[in-house]
């Protein structure tokens, strides 16, 4: 598998993770369960990290020769 395919596959996996985390966060916030506060915080941190990793991957993909 070439670099572009590998990076694109990694980006796709991160997009799936990001979507899953955002949906989970929305559900937890809607439930407003005080016991889920830590989980909601953890998911928020995961979203931020995933977004940073997506930006880095996109930059790597953009830097590849066409």
Q: For the segment 10-66, what is each residue's pLDDT rounded down to a tens digit?
A: 999 999 999 999 999 999 888 888 778 889 999 999 999 999 999 999 999 999 988
CB atoms within 10 A of CB 50: 20
Domain with 34, as residue range(s), is 3-59
Q: What pLDDT is recorded for position 57?
A: 95
Structure tokens at 24: 């989970």
- 65: in domain: no
CA distances, 58 to each of 28, 32, 48 (Å)? 29, 35, 15
- 36: in domain: yes
- 66: in domain: no
Q: What pLDDT is recorded for position 1?
A: 63
- 64: in domain: no
| Domain count of the fold of the chain | 1
């Amino acid at each position: 598998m070439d670099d572009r395919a590998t990076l694109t596959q990694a980006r796709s996996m991160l997009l799936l993770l990001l979507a899953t985390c955002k949906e989970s966060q929305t559900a937890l916030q809607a439930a407003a369960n005080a016991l889920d506060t830590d989980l909601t915080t953890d998911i928020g941190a995961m979203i931020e990290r995933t977004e940073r990793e997506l930006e880095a991957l996109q930059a790597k993909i953009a830097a590849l020769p066409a």
